[in-house]
Each structure stands twice: as structure tokens, then as C-alpha cells.
């Protein structure tokens, strides 16, 4: 009877865990924006996984559950003898390391390579076995979290603020004036809709993109978007706080206090104060009465260091955003204050936009690459390197291309001087599963000029696809509701991009095709995909338009699965696999 009760208890626990995973009810991630009038809390409810037929159903989960599930899959894959225990020798060279998370670079001669001790998962205890908890702790040590926040400052704005550049927020390129065809100082819906036609004559190199130089061929102002002379970014402090950033929570609390702690008695609630009290009142933080009361444990009307720690750990949301990351459904956004609800809009591309006057947040989702596509692209890379077509790669064949950013020795797992396709697929499949099970939020400061905001991939040129969305943005920026856009109405915009994680060195980052900057902050071309795709993609924007496509247009329509007029990298890889 006791045994039956124990089995029943375990069964109930399993069913409860599965139900929680399906609902993801206890998983959310919050990001705090340090606004001028108080904090703005964006809370993300992220769903990973897709639903399907009963026999292939994958229940949607949150990032933390998905990440833990990936560790379970990793342990099963590493357990070669199937005894339920992962030995260090079984796992050797088969799991993700901190080196895999670094951007690919040109190989450094062995004698010049710095010796860096690689973290070891087998530490608690160091008994020659790796447990699930040890793997979870190890991934945290190398900087791999279920949810990670990255911030990219506006390179153009940094360049404009250099000596000799205007820093008054004036437009860096004359895009607004180019589109204002009737010269009335406003952009109408028809002028934005006709942006492609208006700017087409400026496409001097006929590459279906409009660059800064083409917008201003005389050079008066084009340099305002130029990179600093050394190609490095001008680092800027992120106005966002959140888990998964490179700041400790203690530093984030310090930034909160530095930003909002005031000696003004109307804000601080401290009469006669002459110095800042290192605490924050409700007025200083801009919180509602109910939200502030949650964290003011001693009821003194001030949040001290420990209370601010609790606030950052679980803040009440200003805006709550539902993100189905692996489905094409639109994002959904709700505000907890009725006056903010009308400021939320979902644009035709499915993104969520929060419009706060001179400030706007656009939350978008990057489509995830299907595992099938990844395998196909890996096979393409393998076949391109296998010049003698003998079914394996020798070191001389990989040295020319530095295969996928990974040294030959790491891929040659059996140390026989040959890399077979199976070795390549296993090496990356285990690592990809670990990185793709997490979610990365990349926050891009896009400035206040029309060009900067429309240049969503930050490659300092406007593609026809980017120009197509201009008309959809009019209603977002039209603050006075007159149906036209004045230049003063263009907001300071932050673009928040949610995507599954990837391996930086894998195929020049082809798992994140919308990434427009390389690690040095210089616009990067997209150079991955099937051979036919690369040859047709003349402007290296990572897509093939109908004009670039060299085959029959009926075939183009077949490859263009989402019918948006472009074949992207994912669609190209799927088309390659359907031959």
C-alpha cells in the first residue's frame, strides 16, 4: 500500500511538472528602463516550442524550463554506456565551453595563444562524474543563462558627438527631406508609401539598397554616421537593468540610487534634507502606491538597499508582453494602467510598440532557425571544404576556411587526422542545443533620425524591405494625430529583439541573420547559405529578391514560404533540402 502511495505521489508530481511546463506560469523575465520620470518595467512572458499533432506535440515552456530540459538531453547524449552516470571521460570535448561563446577570429599561432584555464563542470564534488546540477552551475560560470540581456549603443550617435560633429540631435542624413516630396515639412502616408519609388533613383550601384553615400553624394552630413577612426564603438551605459546583463545586482542598485536619489523634499519625502539619503521614495521611482508598498517592508516610505534588491528581483510590470518565440503569432502587450493601454500598438509585422511621446520601444521577435536548416547548412559547409570529395576533411582542407570558426583539433574527436560529417554534426548539435535553449534579448538604441530607426539591421544602408515598413510606422509616431509626420515627432527609439541564442562562430553568425554589426561594430555582410543563394544575393543583405533571383518566378514563389517577396537564409536552406 505504501509503495502504491509513493508511485501515485511521483505520478502526480510528474503531471504537475508537465502542466507547469505547458503553461509556463511561473516564468517571466523583467527589464527595467531608467526613464527621466521614473522606472518603466517591461515584463516578458516568453514561450518556446511549437504545438503540433498529438504524436509530435512539443509543449510550450519558458526559458528556464527549456534550458533545464536541454541539460537533461545533454546528459543523455553524453552517457555513452547508458548507466545513468556521465563520467568526465565520456563528456570530454563534447559539451559547450566558454571558447565556443567567443566570436570567431583568425587563428593565432600556438606559441602566441594565451593560456586560459577552461572551467571544469566536475567540481562539487570532483569525483570524476558530472551531475545535472554541476552542469547547470558550470553553464552559469561561463556566462550561459536561460535569459540574457545585451545592449548595443547607437554607433551613429556616438560618432555625431565626437569633436567637430553636431551634437544637437540634428539629422545625420537628409532622408526626411528626400521623402518630403512636396516640401511642406511633413511626411504623409502616401509619401512614406512611395518611399521605394522616390529613393529608387538614388540607388546608383543598383544593389537594391540605399546607402548613406547615395543619400548624400556630396558628403555634407554623410560622415555623421561614420565610425570612429579605429572602428571601435564608443561605449555607452545602458539605461536598462535586468537579469542576464553583465552587471551584478549590487551595481544595478547603485545605478538606481545614482539616477533617482534626490534632495528635493517633494521627491525624496525627507524634509530639510541637504544630502542624498541613499534610499528611494515612491515619487523618485515613479511607482504606484500598491507597487511601492510591496517592497517597503518597514513602511518608512523609503526603499533601502535590501528592499531595492527585492524590487529588481520581482518588479511589478508597467507593460506585460507575451512573446510566442517559435510561432508566427503576433506579440501581445497589456498595460496595468489604463492611460498606457492606448499607447500600445501591434504593427502588421507582429511586433509590439510602446509609444511614450518622445520615447518608443519596439519589441520584435527574430524567427528561429529550424534544426533541419542548421544541419543542411553544416552539410553545405562540409561539402565546400571537402575539395577532393573523399567524404572527410583533412587539416589542409580546413585551414583555408578555418572551418566554422572551430580549430581542426576540436572537431577531430577521435584524433585520426580526419573529420567526418558525423563528427561535425555531433560537435555542433550538442552545443547548439545548449545555446538555442536559452533566449537572448538584444536592445538596440536606434537614435532619433528617420534613417537610424528604419535601418533595423544597423548595416548603415536601407534595404527595400526596410523602406516598405515606413508607412506602417506613421501611426506610431504621429503624436498630434493629424495623419502626417513632422521631423520633431520622430521619437528616440529602442528596438528590443528577442531570439534564441546561437554560437557566435558558426557560419559567421548565420543563426542570427538580422545581426548587422560584427563584434567590432562595423557593418557585416551576410555570407552564409547554399552556393546558389550566395551567388544570387548580389548585395549581400542575406536575402534574395525577385530581381536577384535567376530562376523561374514560379520557383521563387515556391521557395518564398512566407510570401513576403524575399527568400531569406532559412527558406534557402529548406529549399536546398527539398531537392
Q: Give domain status of residue 76, yes or no.
A: no
pLDDT value, residue 368: 58
Distances (CA, A) of 502 to 166, 526, 576: 38, 16, 22
**Given phi > 0 = left and psi -120 to 50 = alpha, else beta, which region is 363?**
beta
DSSP assignment of 452-510? HHH-TT-SSEEEHHHHHTHHHHHHHH-TT-SSSEEGGGPPEEEEEEEEE---TTGGGTT
pLDDT value, residue 299: 94
DSSP assignment of 216-241? -TT-TTGGGGPPPTTS-------SEE
Residues 227 and 250 in one domain: no
Question: How many CB atoms are closer than 10 A to CB 78?
Answer: 19
Q: Which helix (H) or strand (E) holds 326?
A: none
Residues 180 and 224 in one domain: yes
- Best-predicted range by mean pLDDT (285-299, 456-470, 552-566): 285-299
Cα gap 240→149, rounded to integer Å: 9
The residue written with cell numbers 520584435 in the block is: 364
- Whether residue 42 contacts residue 317, with contact meaning beta carbons closer than 8 Å, is answered with yes
φ, ψ dihedrals at 118, nearest 5°: -80, 130
pLDDT value, residue 543: 81
Q: Give domain status of residue 75, yes or no.
A: no
Residues 201 and 258 in one domain: no
Query: Which grid coordinates are listed for 545?
Result: 529578391
For residues 57-80, give the mean pLDDT: 86
- Whether residue 283 contacts residue 5, with contact meaning beta carbons closer than 8 Å, is answered with no
pTM of the predicted protein model = 0.73
Q: Give domain status of residue 344, yes or no.
A: no
Helices (H), 201-349: 212-215, 249-260, 265-268, 282-285, 289-295, 305-313, 338-341
Cα gap 574→530, rounded to integer Å: 10
Tens digits of per-residue pLDDT, 325-345? 888 788 999 998 888 898 898
Is residue 111 predicted with pLDDT exceeding 60?
A: no
Residues 170 and 221 in one domain: yes
Q: Give domain status of residue 397, yes or no.
A: yes
Domain-ending residue, one of 437, 462, 477: 437
Instruction: Give residue 393's domain range.
Output: 370-437
Residues 456 and 397 in one domain: no
Side-chain-side CA neighbours of residue 284 (13 Å): 25
pLDDT value, residue 370: 52
Write down the mean pLDDT value for the chain: 76
Residues 266 and 299 in one domain: yes
Residues 385 and 425 in one domain: yes
Number of domains in the chain: 4
Q: How confident is the model at residue 511 (pLDDT cuts 50, 70, 90)?
A: very low
Question: How many CB atoms are closer than 10 A to CB 35?
Answer: 15
For residues 539-548, give the mean pLDDT: 79
Q: Give domain status of residue 50, yes or no.
A: no
- Whether residue 467 contacts residue 210, with contact meaning beta carbons closer than 8 Å, is answered with yes
Is residue 12 predicted with pLDDT exceeding 60?
A: no
Residues 245 and 230 in one domain: no
Percent helix, strand and coil across the chain, each to the nearest 5? 40, 15, 45
Residues 417 and 454 in one domain: no
Tens digits of per-residue pLDDT, 166-196? 334 444 447 888 888 888 888 888 888 888 7
Is residue 544 predicted with pLDDT exceeding 80?
A: yes
Cα gap 340→155, rounded to integer Å: 31
3-state class of 72 per DSSP? Answer: helix
User: Residue 14 class from Cβ within 10 Å (0-12 exposed, 13-18 middle, 19+ buried)?
Assistant: exposed
Cβ neighbors of 348 (< 8 A, separation 6 or more) are: 472
The better pLDDT of the pair 225, 254 is held by 254
Q: Which helix (H) or strand (E) holds 245?
A: none
> Among 244-248, 427-431, 444-448, 517-521, which is the least confidently predicted range?
517-521
φ, ψ dihedrals at 234, nearest 5°: -90, 105
The better pLDDT of the pair 15, 473 is held by 473
The residue written with cell numbers 548539435 in the block is: 429
Partners of 333 in beta bridges: 321
The residue written with cell numbers 529602442 in the block is: 494
For residues 407-428, give the mean pLDDT: 84
Q: What is the CATH number of the domain that holds 386?
A: 1.10.238.10
Residues 185 and 220 in one domain: yes
Residues 431 and 377 in one domain: yes
- Whether residue 146 contacts residue 438, with contact meaning beta carbons closer than 8 Å, is answered with yes
For residues 491-503, give the mean pLDDT: 88
Residues 250 and 214 in one domain: no
Three-class HEC string of 395-454: HHHHHCCCHHHCCHHHHCCCCCCCEEHHHHHHHHHHHHHHHHCCEEEEEEECCCCHHHHH
Cα gap 507→514, rounded to integer Å: 14
Partners of 354 in beta bridges: 344, 361
Q: Give domain status of residue 433, yes or no.
A: yes
Q: What is the CATH number of the domain that holds 224?
A: 1.10.238
pLDDT value, residue 110: 41
Is residue 17 predicted with pLDDT exceeding 60?
A: no
For residues 26-36, give the mean pLDDT: 89
Q: Give domain status of residue 5, yes or no.
A: no
Q: Give domain status of residue 324, yes or no.
A: no
3-state class of 517 per DSSP? Answer: strand
pLDDT value, residue 475: 72
3-state class of 46 per DSSP? Answer: strand
Q: How confident is the model at residue 87 (pLDDT cuts 50, 70, 90)?
A: very high
Amino acid at each position: 500500500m505504501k509503495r502504491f502511495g509513493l508511485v501515485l505521489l511521483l505520478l502526480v508530481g510528474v503531471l504537475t511538472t508537465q502542466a507547469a511546463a505547458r503553461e509556463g506560469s511561473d516564468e517571466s523575465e523583467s527589464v527595467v528602463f531608467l526613464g527621466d520620470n521614473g522606472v518603466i518595467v517591461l515584463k516578458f512572458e516568453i514561450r518556446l516550442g511549437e504545438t503540433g499533432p498529438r504524436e509530435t506535440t512539443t509543449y510550450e515552456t519558458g526559458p528556464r524550463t527549456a534550458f533545464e530540459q536541454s541539460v537533461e538531453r545533454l546528459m543523455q547524449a553524453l552517457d555513452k554506456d547508458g548507466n545513468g552516470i556521465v563520467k568526465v571521460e565520456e563528456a570530454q570535448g563534447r559539451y559547450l565551453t566558454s571558447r565556443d561563446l567567443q566570436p570567431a577570429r583568425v587563428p593565432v599561432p600556438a606559441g602566441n595563444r594565451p593560456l586560459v584555464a577552461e572551467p571544469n563542470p566536475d567540481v562539487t564534488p570532483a569525483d570524476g562524474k558530472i551531475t545535472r546540477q554541476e552542469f547547470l552551475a558550470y553553464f552559469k560560470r561561463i556566462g550561459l543563462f536561460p535569459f540574457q540581456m545585451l545592449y548595443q549603443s547607437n554607433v551613429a550617435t556616438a560618432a555625431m558627438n565626437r569633436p567637430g560633429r553636431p551634437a544637437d540631435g540634428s539629422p545625420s542624413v537628409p532622408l526626411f527631406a528626400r521623402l518630403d516630396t512636396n516640401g511642406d515639412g511633413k511626411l504623409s502616408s502616401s509619401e512614406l508609401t512611395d518611399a521605394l519609388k522616390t529613393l529608387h533613383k538614388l540607388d546608383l550601384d543598383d544593389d537594391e539598397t540605399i546607402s548613406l553615400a547615395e543619400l548624400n553624394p556630396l558628403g555634407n552630413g554623410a560622415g555623421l554616421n561614420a565610425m570612429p577612426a579605429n572602428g571601435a564603438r564608443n561605449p555607452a551605459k545602458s539605461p536598462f537593468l535586468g537579469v542576464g546583463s553583465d552587471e551584478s545586482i549590487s551595481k544595478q542598485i547603485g545605478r538606481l540610487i545614482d539616477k533617482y536619489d534626490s534632495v528635493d523634499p517633494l521627491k525624496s519625502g525627507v524634509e530639510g534634507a541637504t544630502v542624498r539619503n541613499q534610499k528611494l521614495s515612491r515619487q523618485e521611482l515613479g511607482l504606484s502606491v500598491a507597487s511601492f508598498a510591496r517592497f517597503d517592508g518597514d513602511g518608512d516610505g523609503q526603499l533601502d538597499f535590501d528592499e531595492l534588491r527585492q524590487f529588481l528581483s520581482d518588479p511589478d510590470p508597467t507593460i506585460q508582453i507575451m512573446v510566442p518565440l517559435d510561432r508566427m503569432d503576433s506579440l501581445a502587450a497589456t498595460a496595468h494602467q489604463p492611460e498606457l493601454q492606448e499607447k500600445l500598438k501591434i504593427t502588421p509585422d507582429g511586433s509590439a510598440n510602446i509609444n511614450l511621446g518622445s520615447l518608443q520601444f519596439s519589441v520584435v521577435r527574430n524567427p528561429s532557425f529550424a534544426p533541419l536548416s542548421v544541419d543542411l547548412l553544416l552539410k553545405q559547409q562540409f561539402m565546400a571544404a571537402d575539395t577532393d570529395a573523399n567524404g572527410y576533411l583533412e587539416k589542409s582542407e580546413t585551414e583555408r576556411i578555418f572551418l566554422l570558426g572551430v580549430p581542426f583539433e576540436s572537431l577531430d574527436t577521435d584524433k585520426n587526422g580526419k573529420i567526418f560529417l558525423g563528427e561535425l554534426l555531433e560537435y555542433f548539435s550538442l552545443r547548439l542545443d545548449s545555446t538555442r535553449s536559452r533566449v537572448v534579448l538584444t536592445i538596440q538604441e536606434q537614435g532619433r533620425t528617420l534613417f537610424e530607426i528604419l535601418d533595423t539591421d544597423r548595416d548603415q544602408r536601407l534595404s527595400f524591405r526596410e523602406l516598405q515598413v515606413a508607412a506602417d510606422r506613421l501611426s506610431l509616431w504621429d503624436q498630434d494625430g493629424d495623419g502626417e509626420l513632422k521631423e520633431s515627432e520622430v521619437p528616440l527609439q529602442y528596438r528590443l529583439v528577442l531570439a534564441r541564442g546561437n554560437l557566435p562562430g558558426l557560419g559567421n553568425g548565420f543563426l542570427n541573420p538580422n545581426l548587422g554589426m560584427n563584434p567590432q561594430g562595423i557593418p557585416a555582410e551576410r555570407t552564409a547559405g547554399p552556393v546558389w543563394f550566395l551567388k544570387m544575393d548580389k548585395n549581400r543583405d542575406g536575402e534574395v529578391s525577385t530581381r536577384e533571383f535567376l530562376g523561374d518566378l514560379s520557383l521563387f514563389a515556391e521557395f518564398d514560404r512566407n510570401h513576403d517577396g524575399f527568400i531569406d537564409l532559412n527558406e534557402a536552406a529548406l529549399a536546398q533540402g527539398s531537392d
